[in-house]
Structure 1
Amino acid sequence: MDQLVIHPISADIMKKVAANMPGALLIAGEKGVGVASIARGLAADLHIQPRIITPKKRLQAGAKLIEDYETGSIVIEDIRALYDQTRVKFDQPQLFIVDFGNRSMTHQAQNAFLKLLEEPQDNIYFILATHTADDLLPTIRSRCQRVDIRRCTSEQSKALLASWKLPDATRMARIAFIADGKPAEMYRLAHDDTYYAARVQTVQDAKAILGGTAIQKMHTIHKYKDQRPGALQLIDDLTMQLERALQASFQPNILQQIDLLIEAHRRITANGNIQLQLARVLI
Protein backbone atom coordinates (compact mmCIF):
# COMPACT_ATOMS: atom_id res chain seq x y z
CA MET A 1 0.00 0.00 0.00
CA ASP A 2 3.02 2.28 0.10
CA GLN A 3 2.25 3.53 -3.42
CA LEU A 4 -1.22 4.73 -2.35
CA VAL A 5 -2.03 8.15 -0.90
CA ILE A 6 -3.59 7.43 2.51
CA HIS A 7 -3.85 9.55 5.65
CA PRO A 8 -0.86 8.63 7.87
CA ILE A 9 -3.07 7.43 10.73
CA SER A 10 -5.18 5.25 8.40
CA ALA A 11 -2.01 3.93 6.73
CA ASP A 12 -0.58 2.92 10.09
CA ILE A 13 -3.80 1.11 11.02
CA MET A 14 -3.82 -0.75 7.70
CA LYS A 15 -0.23 -1.92 8.22
CA LYS A 16 -1.24 -3.38 11.58
CA VAL A 17 -4.22 -5.09 9.95
CA ALA A 18 -1.94 -6.61 7.30
CA ALA A 19 0.27 -8.04 10.05
CA ASN A 20 -2.71 -9.81 11.63
CA MET A 21 -5.38 -10.19 8.96
CA PRO A 22 -8.89 -10.85 10.34
CA GLY A 23 -11.28 -13.26 8.68
CA ALA A 24 -13.58 -10.39 7.73
CA LEU A 25 -12.47 -6.78 7.31
CA LEU A 26 -14.74 -3.81 6.65
CA ILE A 27 -12.94 -0.86 5.02
CA ALA A 28 -15.24 2.16 5.17
CA GLY A 29 -14.82 5.71 3.95
CA GLU A 30 -16.29 8.58 1.98
CA LYS A 31 -16.69 8.28 -1.76
CA GLY A 32 -13.37 9.25 -3.31
CA VAL A 33 -10.99 8.31 -0.48
CA GLY A 34 -10.10 5.11 -2.29
CA VAL A 35 -11.49 2.25 -0.18
CA ALA A 36 -11.45 -0.19 -3.13
CA SER A 37 -7.86 0.74 -4.01
CA ILE A 38 -6.84 0.25 -0.39
CA ALA A 39 -8.50 -3.18 -0.37
CA ARG A 40 -6.53 -4.18 -3.47
CA GLY A 41 -3.36 -2.70 -1.97
CA LEU A 42 -3.84 -4.79 1.15
CA ALA A 43 -4.25 -7.91 -1.00
CA ALA A 44 -0.96 -7.07 -2.76
CA ASP A 45 0.82 -6.62 0.58
CA LEU A 46 -0.50 -10.04 1.65
CA HIS A 47 0.73 -11.52 -1.67
CA ILE A 48 -2.72 -12.91 -2.42
CA GLN A 49 -4.46 -12.55 -5.78
CA PRO A 50 -7.97 -11.51 -4.75
CA ARG A 51 -11.27 -12.45 -6.32
CA ILE A 52 -13.45 -9.37 -6.62
CA ILE A 53 -17.23 -9.16 -6.39
CA THR A 54 -18.59 -5.99 -8.01
CA PRO A 55 -21.99 -4.23 -7.97
CA LYS A 56 -24.47 -5.10 -10.68
CA LYS A 57 -27.89 -4.08 -11.88
CA ARG A 58 -30.57 -6.12 -13.59
CA LEU A 59 -31.56 -5.20 -17.12
CA GLN A 60 -35.30 -4.42 -17.35
CA ALA A 61 -36.15 -6.66 -14.39
CA GLY A 62 -34.80 -9.65 -16.34
CA ALA A 63 -32.25 -12.30 -15.53
CA LYS A 64 -29.28 -10.55 -17.17
CA LEU A 65 -26.98 -8.67 -14.81
CA ILE A 66 -24.41 -6.05 -15.82
CA GLU A 67 -21.66 -4.43 -13.78
CA ASP A 68 -22.61 -0.93 -12.64
CA TYR A 69 -20.59 0.95 -10.01
CA GLU A 70 -22.91 3.97 -9.98
CA THR A 71 -26.39 2.46 -9.53
CA GLY A 72 -25.77 -1.27 -9.06
CA SER A 73 -25.69 -3.27 -5.82
CA ILE A 74 -24.07 -6.45 -4.60
CA VAL A 75 -26.64 -9.05 -5.65
CA ILE A 76 -27.82 -12.34 -4.19
CA GLU A 77 -26.61 -14.34 -7.20
CA ASP A 78 -22.99 -13.33 -6.58
CA ILE A 79 -23.19 -14.07 -2.87
CA ARG A 80 -24.66 -17.52 -3.56
CA ALA A 81 -21.80 -18.19 -5.97
CA LEU A 82 -19.36 -16.92 -3.33
CA TYR A 83 -20.87 -19.31 -0.79
CA ASP A 84 -20.29 -22.25 -3.15
CA GLN A 85 -16.71 -21.15 -3.85
CA THR A 86 -15.82 -20.98 -0.16
CA ARG A 87 -17.32 -24.27 1.02
CA VAL A 88 -14.27 -26.27 -0.08
CA LYS A 89 -10.99 -26.55 1.83
CA PHE A 90 -8.00 -24.50 0.67
CA ASP A 91 -4.34 -25.13 1.49
CA GLN A 92 -3.44 -21.53 0.64
CA PRO A 93 -5.13 -18.28 1.77
CA GLN A 94 -8.00 -17.10 -0.43
CA LEU A 95 -9.08 -13.46 -0.38
CA PHE A 96 -12.42 -12.14 -1.62
CA ILE A 97 -12.98 -8.39 -2.01
CA VAL A 98 -16.58 -7.17 -2.07
CA ASP A 99 -16.38 -3.80 -3.85
CA PHE A 100 -19.69 -2.04 -3.18
CA GLY A 101 -19.28 0.84 -5.63
CA ASN A 102 -21.53 3.77 -4.73
CA ARG A 103 -24.36 1.79 -3.18
CA SER A 104 -24.71 -1.21 -0.91
CA MET A 105 -25.79 -4.84 -0.85
CA THR A 106 -29.37 -5.95 -1.40
CA HIS A 107 -31.21 -7.20 1.67
CA GLN A 108 -31.27 -10.75 0.30
CA ALA A 109 -27.55 -10.62 -0.42
CA GLN A 110 -26.83 -9.33 3.09
CA ASN A 111 -28.69 -12.23 4.69
CA ALA A 112 -26.80 -14.69 2.50
CA PHE A 113 -23.46 -13.03 3.26
CA LEU A 114 -24.21 -13.14 6.98
CA LYS A 115 -24.42 -16.92 6.70
CA LEU A 116 -20.90 -16.92 5.23
CA LEU A 117 -19.62 -14.95 8.20
CA GLU A 118 -21.40 -17.24 10.64
CA GLU A 119 -19.67 -20.29 9.11
CA PRO A 120 -16.01 -19.20 8.84
CA GLN A 121 -13.60 -21.45 6.93
CA ASP A 122 -9.85 -21.81 7.31
CA ASN A 123 -7.78 -19.77 4.83
CA ILE A 124 -10.80 -17.72 3.71
CA TYR A 125 -10.66 -13.94 4.09
CA PHE A 126 -13.19 -11.27 3.15
CA ILE A 127 -12.68 -7.54 2.63
CA LEU A 128 -15.75 -5.31 2.28
CA ALA A 129 -14.92 -1.96 0.67
CA THR A 130 -17.81 0.47 1.05
CA HIS A 131 -18.93 4.08 1.32
CA THR A 132 -22.19 2.99 2.99
CA ALA A 133 -21.14 0.84 5.94
CA ASP A 134 -24.08 1.93 8.07
CA ASP A 135 -26.48 0.46 5.50
CA LEU A 136 -25.18 -3.01 6.31
CA LEU A 137 -26.96 -5.23 8.83
CA PRO A 138 -25.64 -4.69 12.38
CA THR A 139 -24.96 -8.43 12.53
CA ILE A 140 -22.63 -8.14 9.53
CA ARG A 141 -20.83 -5.10 10.96
CA SER A 142 -20.37 -6.82 14.31
CA ARG A 143 -18.63 -9.78 12.64
CA CYS A 144 -16.11 -7.62 10.79
CA GLN A 145 -13.09 -5.72 12.00
CA ARG A 146 -13.76 -2.18 10.83
CA VAL A 147 -11.29 0.44 9.62
CA ASP A 148 -12.60 3.91 8.78
CA ILE A 149 -10.34 5.58 6.23
CA ARG A 150 -9.74 9.26 6.83
CA ARG A 151 -9.36 11.84 4.10
CA CYS A 152 -5.70 12.38 3.30
CA THR A 153 -4.11 15.58 4.55
CA SER A 154 -4.18 18.84 2.61
CA GLU A 155 -0.41 18.52 2.17
CA GLN A 156 -0.86 15.07 0.64
CA SER A 157 -3.57 16.38 -1.67
CA LYS A 158 -1.41 19.29 -2.84
CA ALA A 159 1.57 17.00 -3.47
CA LEU A 160 -0.58 14.52 -5.42
CA LEU A 161 -2.11 17.23 -7.57
CA ALA A 162 1.29 18.80 -8.23
CA SER A 163 2.74 15.42 -9.26
CA TRP A 164 0.40 15.25 -12.27
CA LYS A 165 1.69 18.57 -13.67
CA LEU A 166 -1.66 19.54 -15.17
CA PRO A 167 -1.30 22.46 -17.61
CA ASP A 168 -4.69 23.98 -16.70
CA ALA A 169 -4.47 26.05 -13.49
CA THR A 170 -8.26 26.47 -13.38
CA ARG A 171 -8.74 22.72 -13.48
CA MET A 172 -6.21 22.23 -10.69
CA ALA A 173 -8.00 24.78 -8.51
CA ARG A 174 -11.37 23.14 -9.16
CA ILE A 175 -10.04 19.68 -8.35
CA ALA A 176 -8.61 21.00 -5.08
CA PHE A 177 -11.99 22.57 -4.22
CA ILE A 178 -14.12 19.58 -5.17
CA ALA A 179 -11.98 16.70 -3.93
CA ASP A 180 -9.50 17.88 -1.30
CA GLY A 181 -8.50 14.85 0.78
CA LYS A 182 -10.00 12.32 -1.65
CA PRO A 183 -7.19 10.92 -3.81
CA ALA A 184 -9.35 8.54 -5.88
CA GLU A 185 -11.75 11.36 -6.74
CA MET A 186 -8.85 13.69 -7.49
CA TYR A 187 -7.35 11.16 -9.88
CA ARG A 188 -10.61 10.71 -11.76
CA LEU A 189 -11.17 14.46 -12.04
CA ALA A 190 -7.64 14.93 -13.34
CA HIS A 191 -7.72 12.14 -15.92
CA ASP A 192 -11.34 11.77 -17.05
CA ASP A 193 -12.43 14.84 -19.02
CA THR A 194 -16.07 13.78 -19.30
CA TYR A 195 -16.37 13.11 -15.59
CA TYR A 196 -14.59 16.37 -14.76
CA ALA A 197 -17.03 18.41 -16.88
CA ALA A 198 -20.03 16.72 -15.29
CA ARG A 199 -18.72 17.27 -11.75
CA VAL A 200 -17.96 20.94 -12.39
CA GLN A 201 -21.51 21.40 -13.68
CA THR A 202 -22.98 19.74 -10.57
CA VAL A 203 -20.91 21.94 -8.27
CA GLN A 204 -22.06 25.01 -10.19
CA ASP A 205 -25.68 23.84 -9.93
CA ALA A 206 -25.26 23.43 -6.18
CA LYS A 207 -23.93 26.99 -5.91
CA ALA A 208 -26.85 28.25 -8.01
CA ILE A 209 -29.34 26.53 -5.71
CA LEU A 210 -27.79 27.94 -2.55
CA GLY A 211 -27.80 31.49 -3.90
CA GLY A 212 -30.81 31.42 -6.23
CA THR A 213 -34.46 32.43 -6.10
CA ALA A 214 -37.22 29.87 -5.66
CA ILE A 215 -37.83 29.83 -9.42
CA GLN A 216 -34.13 29.36 -10.17
CA LYS A 217 -33.98 26.54 -7.65
CA MET A 218 -36.97 24.78 -9.20
CA HIS A 219 -35.41 25.12 -12.66
CA THR A 220 -32.18 23.50 -11.44
CA ILE A 221 -33.99 20.76 -9.52
CA HIS A 222 -36.01 19.94 -12.64
CA LYS A 223 -32.76 19.08 -14.47
CA TYR A 224 -32.16 16.21 -12.04
CA LYS A 225 -35.68 14.76 -11.83
CA ASP A 226 -34.74 11.69 -13.90
CA GLN A 227 -31.08 11.45 -12.85
CA ARG A 228 -30.83 9.53 -9.58
CA PRO A 229 -27.00 9.31 -9.44
CA GLY A 230 -26.76 12.96 -10.48
CA ALA A 231 -29.28 14.03 -7.84
CA LEU A 232 -27.33 12.17 -5.15
CA GLN A 233 -24.13 13.87 -6.32
CA LEU A 234 -25.91 17.24 -6.24
CA ILE A 235 -26.89 16.61 -2.61
CA ASP A 236 -23.29 15.66 -1.80
CA ASP A 237 -22.04 18.91 -3.35
CA LEU A 238 -24.67 20.97 -1.54
CA THR A 239 -23.68 19.30 1.72
CA MET A 240 -19.98 19.93 1.07
CA GLN A 241 -20.54 23.64 0.45
CA LEU A 242 -22.79 24.01 3.49
CA GLU A 243 -20.25 22.22 5.68
CA ARG A 244 -17.57 24.66 4.58
CA ALA A 245 -19.88 27.57 5.37
CA LEU A 246 -20.54 26.02 8.76
CA GLN A 247 -16.82 25.74 9.47
CA ALA A 248 -16.39 29.42 8.67
CA SER A 249 -19.32 30.51 10.85
CA PHE A 250 -21.58 28.30 12.97
CA GLN A 251 -25.24 28.82 12.07
CA PRO A 252 -27.95 26.48 13.39
CA ASN A 253 -30.06 26.86 10.23
CA ILE A 254 -27.17 25.53 8.11
CA LEU A 255 -26.84 22.53 10.40
CA GLN A 256 -30.55 21.88 10.06
CA GLN A 257 -30.35 22.10 6.26
CA ILE A 258 -27.48 19.61 6.21
CA ASP A 259 -29.57 17.16 8.26
CA LEU A 260 -32.45 17.56 5.78
CA LEU A 261 -30.10 16.94 2.85
CA ILE A 262 -28.78 13.77 4.47
CA GLU A 263 -32.36 12.54 4.88
CA ALA A 264 -33.17 13.44 1.25
CA HIS A 265 -30.10 11.49 0.15
CA ARG A 266 -31.32 8.46 2.08
CA ARG A 267 -34.81 8.67 0.58
CA ILE A 268 -33.60 9.15 -3.00
CA THR A 269 -31.19 6.23 -2.58
CA ALA A 270 -34.21 4.16 -1.49
CA ASN A 271 -35.95 5.10 -4.80
CA GLY A 272 -37.90 8.05 -3.44
CA ASN A 273 -39.22 10.68 -5.87
CA ILE A 274 -36.20 12.79 -6.82
CA GLN A 275 -37.91 16.09 -7.59
CA LEU A 276 -40.17 15.88 -4.55
CA GLN A 277 -37.31 15.15 -2.14
CA LEU A 278 -35.09 17.92 -3.53
CA ALA A 279 -37.92 20.46 -3.51
CA ARG A 280 -38.87 19.49 0.05
CA VAL A 281 -35.41 20.45 1.28
CA LEU A 282 -34.42 23.31 -0.99
CA ILE A 283 -37.55 25.33 -1.74
Structure 2
Amino acid sequence: MSLVVTPETTAFLERFRVALPHAQLLAGTEGIGLYALAHHMAETAGQIIAIIRPIAKTKAGVPSIATEAIRDLYETARSRQLKASFIIIDDADSMTLSAQNALLKLLEEPNRSTHFILTTHQPEKLLPTIRSRVQRFTVPRVDEITSRRLTKSLGITDEKLRAQILYIASGLPAEISRLSADKRYFDELAARAGQARRFIEGTTYDRLVIIQTFKEDRVGALAFIRILLLILERLFMRTPTRDVAKLIQSLIEAAEAIQTNGNIRLQLSAVMV
Protein backbone atom coordinates (compact mmCIF):
# COMPACT_ATOMS: atom_id res chain seq x y z
CA MET A 1 0.00 0.00 0.00
CA SER A 2 1.34 3.46 -0.94
CA LEU A 3 2.07 6.08 1.69
CA VAL A 4 -0.74 8.48 2.57
CA VAL A 5 0.95 11.78 3.38
CA THR A 6 0.52 15.54 3.08
CA PRO A 7 2.17 17.69 0.37
CA GLU A 8 4.52 18.96 3.09
CA THR A 9 5.71 15.42 3.80
CA THR A 10 6.10 14.70 0.08
CA ALA A 11 8.36 17.75 -0.25
CA PHE A 12 10.39 16.57 2.76
CA LEU A 13 10.89 13.13 1.16
CA GLU A 14 12.27 14.77 -1.98
CA ARG A 15 14.75 16.81 0.07
CA PHE A 16 15.77 13.73 2.01
CA ARG A 17 16.59 11.75 -1.13
CA VAL A 18 18.67 14.59 -2.57
CA ALA A 19 20.80 15.11 0.56
CA LEU A 20 20.89 12.20 3.01
CA PRO A 21 21.56 13.36 6.58
CA HIS A 22 23.67 11.27 8.93
CA ALA A 23 20.75 11.12 11.36
CA GLN A 24 17.09 11.97 10.76
CA LEU A 25 14.45 12.28 13.47
CA LEU A 26 10.79 11.76 12.50
CA ALA A 27 8.35 13.08 15.09
CA GLY A 28 4.56 12.98 15.10
CA THR A 29 1.36 11.83 16.72
CA GLU A 30 1.06 8.12 17.46
CA GLY A 31 -0.77 6.45 14.57
CA ILE A 32 0.57 8.86 11.93
CA GLY A 33 2.75 6.09 10.48
CA LEU A 34 6.30 7.05 11.48
CA TYR A 35 7.69 3.52 11.20
CA ALA A 36 6.18 2.98 7.74
CA LEU A 37 7.58 6.33 6.63
CA ALA A 38 11.05 5.52 8.01
CA HIS A 39 10.99 2.13 6.29
CA HIS A 40 9.97 3.73 2.98
CA MET A 41 12.70 6.38 3.24
CA ALA A 42 15.41 3.82 3.93
CA GLU A 43 14.33 1.38 1.22
CA THR A 44 14.04 4.02 -1.49
CA ALA A 45 17.40 5.64 -0.65
CA GLY A 46 19.48 2.54 0.07
CA GLN A 47 19.32 -0.57 2.23
CA ILE A 48 18.19 -1.32 5.79
CA ILE A 49 20.89 -3.02 7.87
CA ALA A 50 19.23 -2.94 11.30
CA ILE A 51 15.89 -2.17 12.95
CA ILE A 52 15.61 -1.56 16.69
CA ARG A 53 12.18 -1.51 18.34
CA PRO A 54 11.13 -1.45 22.01
CA ILE A 55 10.57 -4.73 23.82
CA ALA A 56 8.59 -5.39 27.01
CA LYS A 57 10.56 -7.43 29.55
CA THR A 58 7.34 -8.76 31.08
CA LYS A 59 3.77 -9.20 29.81
CA ALA A 60 2.57 -6.27 31.91
CA GLY A 61 5.71 -4.20 31.41
CA VAL A 62 6.13 -1.02 29.39
CA PRO A 63 8.24 -1.69 26.25
CA SER A 64 11.67 -0.07 26.15
CA ILE A 65 14.95 -0.17 24.25
CA ALA A 66 17.80 -1.45 26.40
CA THR A 67 21.44 -0.37 26.31
CA GLU A 68 22.52 -3.76 24.96
CA ALA A 69 20.33 -3.32 21.87
CA ILE A 70 22.18 -0.11 20.98
CA ARG A 71 25.64 -1.45 21.81
CA ASP A 72 24.96 -4.39 19.52
CA LEU A 73 24.85 -1.84 16.69
CA TYR A 74 28.43 -0.65 17.16
CA GLU A 75 30.07 -3.06 14.73
CA THR A 76 27.24 -2.80 12.19
CA ALA A 77 27.17 1.00 12.25
CA ARG A 78 30.93 1.35 11.86
CA SER A 79 31.27 -1.11 8.97
CA ARG A 80 31.76 0.42 5.53
CA GLN A 81 28.94 -0.33 3.10
CA LEU A 82 28.92 -0.20 -0.71
CA LYS A 83 25.74 1.90 -0.73
CA ALA A 84 23.75 4.08 1.65
CA SER A 85 22.72 1.92 4.61
CA PHE A 86 20.14 2.70 7.27
CA ILE A 87 19.58 1.84 10.90
CA ILE A 88 16.00 2.50 12.03
CA ILE A 89 15.34 3.07 15.73
CA ASP A 90 11.56 3.05 16.18
CA ASP A 91 10.02 4.76 19.22
CA ALA A 92 13.44 6.14 20.09
CA ASP A 93 12.00 7.94 23.12
CA SER A 94 11.61 4.51 24.75
CA MET A 95 15.41 4.15 25.02
CA THR A 96 16.68 4.05 28.57
CA LEU A 97 19.02 6.86 29.59
CA SER A 98 22.06 4.61 29.24
CA ALA A 99 20.84 3.46 25.82
CA GLN A 100 20.58 7.09 24.71
CA ASN A 101 24.12 7.73 25.88
CA ALA A 102 25.27 4.64 23.95
CA LEU A 103 23.55 5.95 20.81
CA LEU A 104 25.19 9.33 21.30
CA LYS A 105 28.61 7.72 20.84
CA LEU A 106 27.52 6.40 17.44
CA LEU A 107 26.12 9.77 16.38
CA GLU A 108 29.38 11.46 17.38
CA GLU A 109 31.41 9.15 15.12
CA PRO A 110 29.68 9.39 11.73
CA ASN A 111 30.28 6.78 9.05
CA ARG A 112 29.68 8.16 5.56
CA SER A 113 27.76 5.11 4.36
CA THR A 114 25.63 4.56 7.49
CA HIS A 115 22.59 6.68 8.31
CA PHE A 116 20.16 6.65 11.21
CA ILE A 117 16.41 7.25 11.14
CA LEU A 118 14.82 7.69 14.57
CA THR A 119 11.08 7.89 15.16
CA THR A 120 9.43 9.37 18.22
CA HIS A 121 6.06 10.53 19.49
CA GLN A 122 7.75 12.38 22.37
CA PRO A 123 10.92 14.08 21.10
CA GLU A 124 11.33 15.99 24.35
CA LYS A 125 12.20 12.68 26.05
CA LEU A 126 15.37 12.39 23.98
CA LEU A 127 18.58 13.87 25.36
CA PRO A 128 19.27 17.42 24.12
CA THR A 129 22.64 16.17 22.86
CA ILE A 130 20.86 13.63 20.64
CA ARG A 131 18.34 16.19 19.38
CA SER A 132 21.20 18.52 18.46
CA ARG A 133 22.79 15.82 16.27
CA VAL A 134 19.75 14.91 14.19
CA GLN A 135 17.72 16.69 11.55
CA ARG A 136 14.10 16.82 12.70
CA PHE A 137 10.91 16.65 10.69
CA THR A 138 7.50 16.66 12.35
CA VAL A 139 5.07 14.64 10.23
CA PRO A 140 1.74 16.49 9.97
CA ARG A 141 -1.65 14.81 10.07
CA VAL A 142 -3.48 14.35 6.78
CA ASP A 143 -6.73 16.29 6.39
CA GLU A 144 -10.29 15.05 6.92
CA ILE A 145 -10.92 14.56 3.19
CA THR A 146 -7.81 12.40 2.80
CA SER A 147 -8.81 10.38 5.86
CA ARG A 148 -12.24 9.70 4.37
CA ARG A 149 -10.71 8.73 1.02
CA LEU A 150 -8.42 6.29 2.82
CA THR A 151 -11.34 4.57 4.57
CA LYS A 152 -13.06 4.25 1.20
CA SER A 153 -9.94 2.78 -0.44
CA LEU A 154 -9.75 0.25 2.41
CA GLY A 155 -13.24 -0.96 1.53
CA ILE A 156 -15.11 0.53 4.48
CA THR A 157 -18.64 1.14 3.20
CA ASP A 158 -20.59 1.04 6.47
CA GLU A 159 -21.13 4.67 7.46
CA LYS A 160 -21.36 3.93 11.18
CA LEU A 161 -18.07 2.01 11.13
CA ARG A 162 -16.43 4.75 9.08
CA ALA A 163 -17.62 7.40 11.54
CA GLN A 164 -16.27 5.38 14.48
CA ILE A 165 -12.86 4.92 12.87
CA LEU A 166 -12.62 8.60 11.95
CA TYR A 167 -13.66 9.64 15.45
CA ILE A 168 -10.74 7.65 16.86
CA ALA A 169 -8.12 8.19 14.16
CA SER A 170 -8.94 10.95 11.67
CA GLY A 171 -5.70 12.34 10.24
CA LEU A 172 -3.69 9.24 11.21
CA PRO A 173 -3.25 6.93 8.18
CA ALA A 174 -1.47 4.08 9.99
CA GLU A 175 -4.10 3.98 12.74
CA ILE A 176 -6.97 4.09 10.22
CA SER A 177 -5.41 1.18 8.31
CA ARG A 178 -4.90 -0.89 11.44
CA LEU A 179 -8.42 -0.25 12.73
CA SER A 180 -9.81 -1.29 9.35
CA ALA A 181 -7.78 -4.50 9.17
CA ASP A 182 -7.90 -5.74 12.77
CA LYS A 183 -11.40 -6.16 14.23
CA ARG A 184 -10.13 -7.17 17.66
CA TYR A 185 -7.95 -4.06 17.82
CA PHE A 186 -10.87 -1.94 16.62
CA ASP A 187 -13.17 -3.36 19.29
CA GLU A 188 -10.57 -2.66 22.01
CA LEU A 189 -10.01 0.92 20.87
CA ALA A 190 -13.71 1.56 20.36
CA ALA A 191 -14.30 0.48 23.98
CA ARG A 192 -11.47 2.74 25.16
CA ALA A 193 -12.82 5.61 23.08
CA GLY A 194 -16.18 5.17 24.82
CA GLN A 195 -14.40 5.30 28.18
CA ALA A 196 -12.47 8.37 27.06
CA ARG A 197 -15.64 10.16 26.04
CA ARG A 198 -17.23 9.39 29.42
CA PHE A 199 -14.06 10.60 31.14
CA ILE A 200 -14.18 13.89 29.23
CA GLU A 201 -17.93 14.49 29.37
CA GLY A 202 -19.03 12.54 32.45
CA THR A 203 -19.37 13.31 36.13
CA THR A 204 -16.65 13.07 38.77
CA TYR A 205 -18.11 9.71 39.80
CA ASP A 206 -17.89 8.43 36.19
CA ARG A 207 -14.21 9.39 36.09
CA LEU A 208 -13.43 7.73 39.40
CA VAL A 209 -15.08 4.50 38.25
CA ILE A 210 -12.98 4.52 35.07
CA ILE A 211 -9.78 5.25 37.00
CA GLN A 212 -10.51 2.31 39.29
CA THR A 213 -10.48 -0.09 36.31
CA PHE A 214 -6.82 0.76 35.63
CA LYS A 215 -5.48 0.63 39.19
CA GLU A 216 -3.25 -2.39 38.43
CA ASP A 217 -3.08 -2.15 34.63
CA ARG A 218 -0.16 0.08 33.67
CA VAL A 219 -0.21 -0.80 29.96
CA GLY A 220 -4.00 -0.34 29.83
CA ALA A 221 -3.77 3.03 31.58
CA LEU A 222 -1.20 4.24 29.05
CA ALA A 223 -3.38 3.02 26.17
CA PHE A 224 -6.35 4.86 27.70
CA ILE A 225 -4.35 8.09 27.99
CA ARG A 226 -3.27 7.69 24.37
CA ILE A 227 -6.91 7.58 23.22
CA LEU A 228 -7.77 10.55 25.43
CA LEU A 229 -4.94 12.53 23.85
CA LEU A 230 -6.00 11.62 20.30
CA ILE A 231 -9.53 12.85 20.97
CA LEU A 232 -8.45 15.99 22.82
CA GLU A 233 -5.84 16.94 20.21
CA ARG A 234 -8.52 16.78 17.51
CA LEU A 235 -10.82 18.86 19.69
CA PHE A 236 -8.06 21.40 20.26
CA MET A 237 -7.35 21.65 16.52
CA ARG A 238 -10.98 22.52 15.91
CA THR A 239 -11.58 24.70 18.96
CA PRO A 240 -8.39 25.66 20.82
CA THR A 241 -9.10 26.57 24.44
CA ARG A 242 -6.94 26.99 27.50
CA ASP A 243 -8.84 24.27 29.40
CA VAL A 244 -8.24 21.65 26.69
CA ALA A 245 -4.57 22.63 26.41
CA LYS A 246 -4.20 22.28 30.18
CA LEU A 247 -5.87 18.86 30.16
CA ILE A 248 -3.61 17.65 27.34
CA GLN A 249 -0.51 18.74 29.26
CA SER A 250 -1.77 17.06 32.44
CA LEU A 251 -2.33 13.80 30.56
CA ILE A 252 1.16 13.92 29.04
CA GLU A 253 2.65 14.40 32.50
CA ALA A 254 0.50 11.58 33.90
CA ALA A 255 1.65 9.22 31.14
CA GLU A 256 5.30 10.04 31.83
CA ALA A 257 4.83 9.37 35.55
CA ILE A 258 2.97 6.10 34.95
CA GLN A 259 5.68 4.92 32.53
CA THR A 260 8.24 5.40 35.29
CA ASN A 261 6.21 3.34 37.79
CA GLY A 262 4.20 6.20 39.25
CA ASN A 263 0.98 5.35 41.09
CA ILE A 264 -1.68 4.86 38.38
CA ARG A 265 -4.74 5.97 40.37
CA LEU A 266 -2.91 8.96 41.83
CA GLN A 267 -1.72 10.18 38.44
CA LEU A 268 -5.10 9.76 36.72
CA SER A 269 -6.88 11.38 39.66
CA ALA A 270 -4.53 14.37 39.45
CA VAL A 271 -5.74 14.95 35.88
CA MET A 272 -9.22 15.62 37.26
CA VAL A 273 -8.04 18.47 39.50
| TM-score normalised by structure 1 residue count | 0.88
| Aligned equivalents of 1:120, 1:182: Cα separation in 2 | 33
| Aligned equivalents of 1:252, 1:258: Cα separation in 2 | 10
Q: Could you say what secondary structure the match of 2:73 adopts?
A: helix
Q: Could you say what secondary structure the match of 1:203 adopts?
A: helix
The question of 1:14 aligning with 2:27 is answered no
Equivalent residues in 2 for 1:194-233 (5 A)? 194-233=184-223
| Aligned equivalents of 1:26, 1:132: Cα separation in 2 | 11
**1:254–1:33: structure 2 CA closer, same or farther, 3 Å change rule?**
closer
Equivalent residues in 2 for 1:1-283 (5 A)? 3-59=2-58, 71-100=62-91, 104-246=94-236, 251-282=241-272
Q: CA RMSD in A?
A: 2.2
The question of whether the paired residues in 1 share the 8 Å contact of 2:46 and 2:83 is answered with no
| Aligned equivalents of 1:218, 1:94: Cα separation in 2 | 51
Q: Which residue in 2 is equivalent to 1:64?
A: none
Which digits, 9 at most, give the CA deviation of each residue in 1:83-102, with x for residues without a partner? 1222333333321111127x
| Aligned equivalents of 1:131, 1:50: Cα separation in 2 | 23
The question of whether the paired residues in 2 share the 8 Å contact of 1:43 and 1:50 is answered with no
**1:254–1:149: structure 2 CA closer, same or farther, 3 Å change rule?**
closer
Provide structure 1 residue ranges, at least 5 long, that are not aligned to the other structure. 61-67
Provide structure 2 residue ranges, at least 5 long, that are not aligned to the other structure. none
| Aligned equivalents of 2:162, 2:132: Cα separation in 1 | 41
| Aligned equivalents of 1:223, 1:7: Cα separation in 2 | 38
Which digits, 9 at most, give the CA deviation of each residue in 1:219-247, with x for residues without a partner? 11111122223212322333344445555
Q: Could you say what secondary structure the match of 1:57 adopts?
A: coil
User: What is the percentage of aligned positions where both structures have the same residue?
Assistant: 36
The question of whether the paired residues in 1 share the 8 Å contact of 2:154 and 2:177 is answered with no
| Aligned equivalents of 2:237, 2:84: Cα separation in 1 | 46
Deviation at 1:253, TM superposition (A): 3.4
Single out whichever of 140-149 and 48-57 deviates more from structure 2. Answer: 48-57
Deviation at 1:215, TM superposition (A): 2.4
The question of whether the paired residues in 1 share the 8 Å contact of 2:56 and 2:63 is answered with yes
| Aligned equivalents of 2:6, 2:236: Cα separation in 1 | 24
| Aligned equivalents of 1:78, 1:250: Cα separation in 2 | 41
| Aligned equivalents of 2:25, 2:122: Cα separation in 1 | 11
Single out whichever of 110-119 and 123-132 deviates more from structure 2. Answer: 123-132
Q: Which residue in 2 is equivalent to 1:63?
A: none
| Aligned equivalents of 2:237, 2:2: Cα separation in 1 | 32
**1:177–1:115: structure 2 CA closer, same or farther, 3 Å change rule?**
same
Q: Which residue in 2 is equivalent to 1:65?
A: none
Q: Could you say what secondary structure the match of 2:47 adopts?
A: coil
**1:13–1:274: structure 2 CA closer, same or farther, 3 Å change rule?**
same
